A and B are shown apart, each in its own frame.
Chain A
Amino acid sequence: MQKRQRKTSHRKWIRTLRNKKRSERQGREVRNGYLFLLPSLLGTGGFVLIPFMDVVKRSFQQAVGSGFVGMENYRMVVENEAFRLAAGNTARFMAVCLPLLLVLSLGTAVLVGHVTKFQRWMKTGFLLPMAIPAASVVVFFQMVFDEKGWLGQLVGVFGITGRDWLASDSAFWILVACYIWKNLGYDMILWLAGLGAIPEEQYEAARVQGAGEWACFWYITLPQLKETTFVTGLLSFVNAFRVFREAYLLAGDYPHESIYMLQHLFNNWFVNLDIQKMTAAAVMLVILTGGILGAEEWSKNHTKKIEERRI
């Protein structure tokens, strides 16, 4: 016990000596770190972070002048029917298309990973939709889903009359399809990277012990794709908001109510200069997204710590 104490005090002594040099180095590291960050930080600060403070302030004020109205703007937003519709639709869209895209792209990645020939060409083909301008995508979707479009004629063969699918509840699913079509390749490449990072020996060892393909996938592949899943999910989430482009070009400011998203709503508020509602809704969305991201980061750090402790 005593020995150990002496050892630690000895270490402490060396540490203080070292610390002097280290603090100099750390000082430089801090300074240079900020210098590298500076151009970006000035821009983000100037264009988003600082003006956002103003947004927060305005969200508590009345439209004209600067009278304080408390939570009035927030109440107005939450009670707004369009907001409820849009928030519900956006949540529904995310809840449907994120898992769907992740599963489909993982499946495609596994299949493409097993293909021995033409792999490169397949990747190109899957990535191609990313390059097509939204306006062109929209023309294609109109050709397919219009009342007089191709799908209408196809079902016409079976005696069903076509309709304008874009102006019905199906619009939601058309948008989901559009999102998946556009992002399948990108996610597939991410998964392929994650899959490629898993050592082949693990599979061999499992197979020697009689594990089938499915068991290998379930017990070896999936657990090691955690980090890839996080990044892929995050980037897919970011891309999911961009589907607004297609939705907007497809149906304009006021599309069928099944695809009336938060982005439409913000846009319309902006056009009407309804700054109060916009600021309050923006603050709420930032808090919500920040909360989700924060919880995610926290749990990630937490599990990391537990794992480290185990090792």
Chain B
Amino acid sequence: MLVQWALRVFLLIVLAVMVFPLFMLTANSLMGRQELLETCGAVLADYGESAKLRIFPMYPTLRAYVRLLLDSPEYFTAFWNSMIQTILVLAGQLLAAVPAAWAFAQFRFPGKKVLWFLYMLLMILPFQVTMVSGYLVLNTMDLMDTRAAVILPGIFSTLPVFILQKTFAGIPKELLEAAKIDGAGDLRIFVSMGIPLGMPGIFSILILGFLEYWNTIEQPMTYLKTEALWPLSLYLPQMVNTEIAAAFAASIITLLPALLLFFYGQDSLEQGIVASGVKA
């Protein structure tokens, strides 16, 4: 019993450290301009002697949010850009990565091992290594500085294929054999058995993909020059430098969709992560 309590207390302390940044962001987003300058000004705006640690704002106000939502059209443009970018990438991944993972999990064909190896390799390589080849293609297709430059390569990321393959490979063989004996074709089996049984995995690649493309910086930074096309993840750092008062509120609103997804999808996210880790 004592051990159980000691354990809980210890984990709670670790947890407090883990979520502390989120706490600070929320507190700062509720501060007025003056209070914000007093607490963070020393670090972020060259104001005052030293930063102060204040977990609860002394004069909480929603002014930053109001200002942000009513008075900064650029923020909305960026928000919208992020939405388009993320949703189109995810939709494309559903069409490309899900069947590909199914092929790797359920079929035998020549060259499978080599292709799987290439997919894994592409998954590992950081964006910067494939940046040149991406640039060469986008440039010849005349897609540089368009939304498609971020979206198209994102669709064909191989990480979701890797994660989903494990989920699909975990589907009991007997189940699929039974359907085959009943005369179901390959497409039918995929649609009516593979997809429903692989749902946790599909949800989890969607959530992981959302987090990834909602927060991505490298791709838009490299391929987008026009600021009007920038997603939130690129626009936010700029905001921190120019309008610090609204930047914290902007951070909170930025992470809100991700957070909501998290709370509603945590179980499937976990199941999906689990499926990718357990022996297939």
Interface residues of A (CB under 8 A from B): 26, 28-30, 32-37, 39-41, 43-44, 46-49, 51-52, 54-55, 108, 111-112, 114-118, 120, 122-140, 142-143, 146, 148-150, 152-153, 181, 184-186, 189-194, 196-197, 227-228, 231-232, 234-235, 237-238, 241-242, 244-245, 248-249, 262-263, 266-267, 270, 275, 278-279, 282, 285-286, 289-290, 293-294, 297
Known: A44-B119, A134-B217, A140-B21. A51 touches B44 (CB 8 A): no
Given known contacts A139-B25, A237-B124, A289-B125, what 7 new A-B pairs fall within 8 Å (CB)?
A37-B104, A117-B8, A152-B50, A228-B279, A238-B159, A267-B128, A290-B121
Cα-based distance from A279 to B239 in the complex (angstroms): 34
Select B103's contact among A36, A196, A263, beta carbons within 8 Å.
A36
Which residue of chain A is the closest to B256 with respect to CB atoms? Answer: A131
Select B222's contact among A111, A232, A270, beta carbons within 8 Å.
A270
**Contact at A48–B156, with CB atoms within 8 Å?**
yes
- In the complex, what residues of B have CB within 8 A of residue A46's CB? 137
**Contact at A143–B125, with CB atoms within 8 Å?**
no
* B187, chain A: closest CB distance, angstroms: 8
**Contact at A228–B278, with CB atoms within 8 Å?**
yes
Cα-based distance from A41 to B217 in the complex (angstroms): 25
List B residues 103-118 near A (Cβ within 8 Å).
Answer: 103-104, 106-110, 112, 115, 117-118
List B residues 231-275 near A (Cβ within 8 Å).
Answer: 232-233, 236-237, 239-240, 247-248, 251, 254-255, 258-259, 262-263, 266, 269-270, 273-275
- In the complex, what residues of B have CB within 8 A of residue A134's CB? 215, 217, 233, 237
**Contact at B217–A248, with CB atoms within 8 Å?**
yes
B64, CB-defined interface residue at 8 Å: no
Select A228's contact among B120, B159, B277, beta carbons within 8 Å.
B277
Known: A149-B51, A286-B125. A36 touches B217 (CB 8 A): no
Name 10 interchain pairs, CB-CB below 8 A, sorted by A: A37-B100, A114-B7, A120-B266, A133-B233, A146-B51, A189-B273, A227-B278, A238-B159, A293-B120, A293-B121
**Contact at A40–B97, with CB atoms within 8 Å?**
yes
**Contact at B128–A245, with CB atoms within 8 Å?**
no
- In the complex, what residues of A have CB within 8 A of residue B175's CB? none
**Contact at A44–B232, with CB atoms within 8 Å?**
no
Known: A127-B262, A132-B255, A190-B273. A122 touches B102 (CB 8 A): no
State which size class the interface on B falls in. 35 or more
**Contact at B121–A47, with CB atoms within 8 Å?**
no
Cα-based distance from A29 to B106 in the complex (angstroms): 9
- In the complex, what residues of A have CB within 8 A of residue B135's CB? 270
Cα-based distance from A131 to B63 in the complex (angstroms): 24
Cα-based distance from A115 to B1 in the complex (angstroms): 11
**Contact at B25–A140, with CB atoms within 8 Å?**
yes
**Contact at A30–B152, with CB atoms within 8 Å?**
no
Select A245's contact among B10, B19, B218, beta carbons within 8 Å.
B218
B62, CB-defined interface residue at 8 Å: no
**Contact at A29–B279, with CB atoms within 8 Å?**
no
Cα-based distance from A75 to B237 in the complex (angstroms): 37
**Contact at A55–B136, with CB atoms within 8 Å?**
yes
B86, CB-defined interface residue at 8 Å: no
Cα-based distance from A39 to B118 in the complex (angstroms): 16
List B residues 190-237 near A (Cβ within 8 Å).
Answer: 190, 211, 214-215, 217-218, 222, 232-233, 236-237
- In the complex, what residues of A have CB within 8 A of residue B2's CB? none
**Contact at A128–B18, with CB atoms within 8 Å?**
yes
Select B49's contact among A49, A148, A278, beta carbons within 8 Å.
A148
- In the complex, what residues of A have CB within 8 A of residue B215's CB? 133-134, 245
Select B255's contact among A32, A49, A112, A136, beta carbons within 8 Å.
A136
* A304, chain B: closest CB distance, angstroms: 11
Cα-based distance from A32 to B135 in the complex (angstroms): 32
B14, CB-defined interface residue at 8 Å: yes
- In the complex, what residues of A have CB within 8 A of residue B254's CB? 133, 136
- In the complex, what residues of B have CB within 8 A of residue A148's CB? 42-43, 49-51
* B242, chain A: closest CB distance, angstroms: 13
Known: A43-B96, A245-B215. A289 touches B237 (CB 8 A): no
Select A139's contact among B159, B161, B251, beta carbons within 8 Å.
B251
**Contact at A266–B129, with CB atoms within 8 Å?**
yes
**Contact at B273–A36, with CB atoms within 8 Å?**
no
Cα-based distance from A185 to B208 in the complex (angstroms): 13
Select B217's contact among A143, A181, A237, A245, beta carbons within 8 Å.
A245
* B277, chain A: closest CB distance, angstroms: 4
B184, CB-defined interface residue at 8 Å: no
Cα-based distance from A284 to B270 in the complex (angstroms): 36
- In the complex, what residues of A have CB within 8 A of residue B104's CB? 37
B167, CB-defined interface residue at 8 Å: no
Cα-based distance from A252 to B175 in the complex (angstroms): 53
- In the complex, what residues of A have CB within 8 A of residue B211's CB? 130-131
**Contact at A122–B255, with CB atoms within 8 Å?**
no
Which residue of chain B is the closest to A124 with respect to CB atoms? Answer: B266
- In the complex, what residues of B have CB within 8 A of residue A285's CB? 125, 129
* B62, chain A: closest CB distance, angstroms: 19
* B206, chain A: closest CB distance, angstroms: 14
Most buried by B among A40, A49, A184, A196: A40
**Contact at B119–A54, with CB atoms within 8 Å?**
no
Which residue of chain B is the closest to A36 with respect to CB atoms? Answer: B103
